[in-house]
Amino acid sequence: MLSLRDLRVRVGEREILKGLTLDVPSGEVHAIMGPNGAGKSTLSYVLTGRPGYEVTGGAAELDGVDLLGLEANARAAQGLFLSFQYPLEIPGVPALTFIRAAMNAQRKARGEAEISAPDFLKQARVCASDLKIDFDMLKRPLNVGFSGGEKKRMEVFQMAMLSPRFMILDETDSGLDIDALRIVSDGVNALRGPGRSMLVITHYQRLLDYIRPDRVHVLADGRIAASGGPELALELEREGYDKYARAA
């Protein structure tokens, strides 16, 4: 379970999260919706430990482990995965090389043995075929020259390979057409299960038609302004965020 208590975050002079409290129990999928500038991306970055985000108060724990004291890669080894809104290009490093290095680094951090090359390749072939990724693409430098849709698919591919227990999907639907959205969501849904949770960050309700959340939260002005069931997302779609913006 992910547990955030009164989390306060500052970027430079500006306070962006102003006391955010949220629980995502194990096995559940929660959606975070909110107007632009509410702090949605900040939340995903501060949880994963991107430099430049200063935590001024509060706590963030994953299954009792304090995340805030850990390096970004140590958080990843704890099973925390962020699907980036804008995945980065890594020139000169083939996707397979990258993922294998990441997988082994995580295993090492957890005191596990490295994966053998044949096992790794077998797993990669299965995941690639599930996500309709051409295997040759995995031999190319990661994300270099990939289209927006291809990059998002590579994010889900890595998610499947690394099999994290807590996933943050940051605006995963942006830049995707309907077909790509279906493939990506199918990939994400296949990873749902007991012991795995997700935080789906999105501005639009559309993605939630494909990845059905258990709970929906509205993030406005750095706090959770409202929480409810899936119907809350539909209400937001109808009525917009005005009422929360005014409240803020």
Comparison of 70 and 234: residue with beta carbon closer to another protein: 70
Name the minimum Å distance from CB 225 to another protein. 28
Name the minimum Å distance from CB 246 to another protein. 34
Comparison of 168 and 220: residue with beta carbon closer to another protein: 168
Give the footprint of another protein on this chain (CB under 8 A): 48-51, 71-73, 75-77, 81-82, 84, 87-93, 98-99, 101-103, 105-106, 109, 141, 158, 162
Phi, psi at residue 217, to the nearest 5°? Answer: -120, 145
Name the minimum Å distance from CB 33 to another protein. 23
Distances (CA, A) of 46 to 40, 52, 96, 168, 224: 10, 9, 27, 12, 16
Return the structure tokens found at 86: 């804008």
Strand bridging mode 166-170 / 197-202:
parallel
Comparison of 102 and 234: residue with beta carbon closer to another protein: 102
d(CA 168, CA 215): 15
Name the minimum Å distance from CB 170 to another protein. 11
d(CA 238, CA 205): 10
Dihedral (CA of 222, 225, 227, 232) sign = negative
Comparison of 72 and 190: residue with beta carbon closer to another protein: 72
Angle at 229 between CA 227 and CA 230, to 5 degrees: 120
Comparison of 145 and 194: residue with beta carbon closer to another protein: 145
Q: What SS3 state is found at 59?
A: strand
Comparison of 101 and 247: residue with beta carbon closer to another protein: 101
Name the minimum Å distance from CB 67 to another protein. 12
Q: With residue 223 as reference, give the H or E element that holds it.
A: strand 223-228
Name the minimum Å distance from CB 108 to another protein. 9
Which candidate, 60, 79, 47, 63, places its Cα nearest to that of 170? 47
